[in-house]
Structure 1
Amino acid sequence: MTVQTLRMPRTGFGRGHVQAVAGCYFVASFAALGLPPYLTEILPELGDHGARWAGVLYIVPTVFGALGAPLWGRLADRFGRKRLLLRAQLGLAVSFLLAGWADSLATFTVALVLQGILGGTFAASNGYLGAALEGPALSRALTLMQGSARAALVVAPIVVGSLSGWLSPHRQYALLAVLPLTAALLLAALPEPEPVEQRETKRETAGDTPPVVSLRTLYALEFAFVFSTVISFPYLIALVDDRLPGTSPALSGVLFALPHLVYLVAALAVHAAFRSRPRAGIALGFACIALGLAGHGVADSLTTLIAVRLLLGAGLTLGLVCLSVLAADCARGRAPGGMFGTLEFFSKAGAVAAGVAAAAGSARFGPAAPVLIGGAAAAVTVVAAALPSLFPTLHHRTRRSR
């Protein structure tokens, strides 16, 4: 059996199934990604008139999602990836309903905690795909999943804002609970991937090459990437207002969305160009992120802001795509639920660390501090990746004899 045969989708699992999983993640992410920006409007309805808890509650689902992801991943490997993916969608629906019906700050907080613990649809979806696909087919599917996340991040806040004239963002939690319920019904028709034991046997008989990077290196790169990119999100609007006073909210929103739009446009082309050389792509991605974020610190016109946002988008696209390629490579022969669950832990840990650093830096040094901290973190990662003593598996790969 050839390596190419191993990397093809499993019997009965094709492109339509991948698109269904990505589509279900997109619709289920609407409330999770679209409503948190409106916490400052939601909390006064629950007694927090100054919305003092908005910053803390913003990261509550992320914190508890990080804590639960590895456990849910291991349970998926033991009891079935499809079953645990359905659990994640239904868990989101329950938490959204509770959040929409909450009449106190305490109940709303419990709902956000449950969203983190019971959710985890991204890790569950990746674990499901990791059990069904290998190699380029898996990395392409993971790239598509990231595209779903970027699309939801762009579209969901706009939809929520448009609905706010008829229904408050608070009550929209209950309305949008229908989306993960619908996703669960659609996912129920998908097949269960084959047991991991069969995949391990196939890899042993194929004599496949070792992964490009170790799991430890993959987790470190994931943490660094999420930290350096997410840190610029919370205070970008404040930075735009500081540099370009009088900027309309619509234009600020477009500037915020630009890097994600770059991903949606260019991700598949980048995947085709870098799927065979992800190490070069990840290094180039971190370099673009470092330069782009540093440019945010000195940009003083709309033209320069657009330019540095596009440069950040190039880095975001290169990083996400090449991390997907590296993750697909590491998933060969491993239990995918546990691996992707742990990867999600490091991703969410990077987001939490970024939020804390952004808040502290902005309070101490102003709205430009988060982008400069993120740029410095990306630059340090580029340097670290260039030093074999720090990331040896980025520089050495044992090749099998042909």
Structure 2
Amino acid sequence: MMRVLGPVLTAHYLAAFTALGMPVFMPRVLGALAPDAPAWLAGALYVLPTVCTALTATTWGRLADRYGRRLSLLRAQLGLALGFAMAGFAPHLGWFVLALAIQGTCGGSLAAANAYLATQFGRDGSLARALDWTQFSARLAMVSAPALLGLAMAWGSPQALYRYLALLPLVAFAVTLCLPRDDGHATHAATRATAPAWRDWLGLLGVQFLFYFAMVVTFPYFVPYAERLGVTRDATAGLLYSLPHLVYLVALPWWRGAAMAPDRPLLLGLGVFSLACLAHAMAPSPAWIVAARLLYGAGMLLALGGLNRALGQRAAGGHAGHVFGLFDACGKWAGAAGGVAAGALVSRIDLAAPFVAAALAGLAAVATAALVFRPLKRSLHVPASDT
């Protein structure tokens, strides 16, 4: 397993480190590249690659099914390298915006990596466990990239970092070249065989959208909210922000949920997550926030594990690229909606409002999972074309 999974995770971490590290510093990059740019532009450019990925992910997924998932993974890594190199050498704002659009349009390394893993692992639980580990590499990049790049800011201009970061996807490209080839093998018969399961897919997409919206809506204004509760140091606020992801990183190697039916960790995780979001909204002190962040991390671990098990049971076969592209696009649209909603809620209500919205979205995801997945669990079958 590790002969394939190890290189995939290494390549994915390098790509995720590249993509997740710099958006945090977008205001600083714009301040150097276009000092007269309006303040709202930083937020718009923050979500531009995400929106571009959402618009193109399903198309790339279909092409991956036809021409090969490893080829699609190589494409995502080269697209990320090209976008970052263009951003690093951008002479003006228009060129920089084009670079971000290319980064998002040609990227999508998580969906491409998961689709490739679906060609190497099956429905016996090994694919679900592999998907857990790609989430691990994403969380590791989310925790490490902003901190390490923040330190690197002292060495030169923020825009120059884009040039150096463009080298990391190229290293990922070289690692991916060493992986076994796969053949695109989506057929009309395979597509027809999966048609009866679209009600199941729509339910999974609904849970994916609600859960990712709930996570992202809490991100943009967490640090100001922590400061309002009395957290005075930036380092402490940053640690509290990262704490749920650290819980995932520490707990995943010890969690053995591969044999579980997906509804159990999914329903429990979404419930715990919703409770944690309510605890954030009602927090009277920083100590309360620590407990809420730990609970948030536990709910995130279980919910993502449940989603991965549901996908692992359904995504093997000739349509995996389309499936993971579709789910990646759904998550990206949810993230964009969450970012917009966070700004609207804070400006019109207060800093606690995003956590209330997250709790409501989490409870809606619980209801969706309970109503859609539990009845279908009894009738789940493997299409004959995939045996």
Is TM (by shorter chain) over 0.5?
yes
Deviation at 1:265, TM superposition (A): 1.3
Structure-2 residue corresponding to 1:182? 171
Aligned residues: 375
Residue identity matched to 2:33: L
AA of the residue aligned to 1:264: L
Match of 1:263 in 2: 248
SS at the partner of 2:257? helix
In the other structure, the counterpart of 2:208 is 222
Deviations for 1:95-137, whole angstroms, at most 9, x for unmatched residues?
0001111122211111111111011111111111112211211
Query: Residue 119 of structure 2 aligns with which residue?
Result: 131
SS of 1:214's equivalent in the other structure is: helix
Deviation track 1:366-399 (CA, whole Å, cap 9, x = no partner) reads 211111111111112223433x3xx2x4223226
Out of 266, 287, 306, the residue aligned to residue 322 of structure 1 is: 306
Change beyond 3 A, Cα 1:164–1:276: same
Q: Which whole-Å CA distance do the structure 1 matches of 2:258 and 2:318 have between them?
A: 23
TM-score, length basis structure 2: 0.92
- Of 60, 64, 83, which residue of structure 1 is paired with 2:71? 83
Cα distance, 1:59 vs structure 2: 0.5
Moved more, 59-68 or 276-285: 276-285
2:364 equivalent in structure 1: 380
8 Å CA contact retained: 2:67, 2:184: no
1:194 Cα offset (Å): 4.8
Q: Which residue of 1 aligns with 2:384?
A: none
Structure 1 residue 356 displacement after superposition? 0.9
- Conserved in 1, the CA contact under 8 Å of 2:54 and 2:332? yes
Q: Distance in 2 between matches of 1:133 and 1:192?
A: 14
Structure 1 alignment gaps of length 5 or more:
1-13, 205-209
TM-score (norm 1): 0.88
Once the two structures are superposed, the pairs formed by residues 62-77 of structure 1 within 5 Å of their partners are: 62-77=50-65
C-alpha contact (below 8 Å) 2:203/2:369 kept by paired residues: no
Distance in 1 separating the partners of 2:324 and 2:186: 17
Contact 1:89 1:119 (C-alpha < 8 Å) held by counterparts = yes
**1:1-400 aligned within 5 A:** 14-49=1-36, 51-135=39-123, 136-196=125-185, 214-244=200-230, 247-270=232-255, 272-273=256-257, 275-386=259-370, 388=371, 391=372, 393-396=373-376, 397-398=378-379
Structure 1 window deviating more from structure 2 (261-270 vs 82-91): it is 261-270
Provide the C-alpha distance between the structure 2 equivalents of 1:138 and 1:287, rounded to a whole number of angstroms.
Answer: 25
> How far apart are the structure 2 equivalents of 1:113 and 1:366?
32
Superposition RMSD in Å? 2.2
Q: Which amino acid aligns with 2:374?
A: L
Percent identity over the alignment? Answer: 38
2:244–2:296 Cα contact (<8 Å) kept: yes
Give the letter for the 1:325 counterpart. Answer: R
In structure 1, distance between residues paired with 2:199 and 2:39: 44
CA contact under 8 A between 1:275 and 1:322: conserved in structure 2?
A: no
- C-alpha separation in 2, matches of 1:110 and 1:399: 45
CA distance, structure 1, for counterparts of residue 220 and residue 329 of structure 2 = 21
- State the Cα deviation string for residues 59-94 of structure 1 (Å, max 9, x = none): 000000011100011111111111111111011000
Asked whether the equivalents of residues 44 and 51 of structure 1 are also in contact (C-alpha less than 8 Å), the reply is no
CA contact (8 A) 1:43 1:51 kept: no
What letter corresponds to residue 395 of structure 1 in structure 2? P
Change (3 A) 1:239 1:345: same
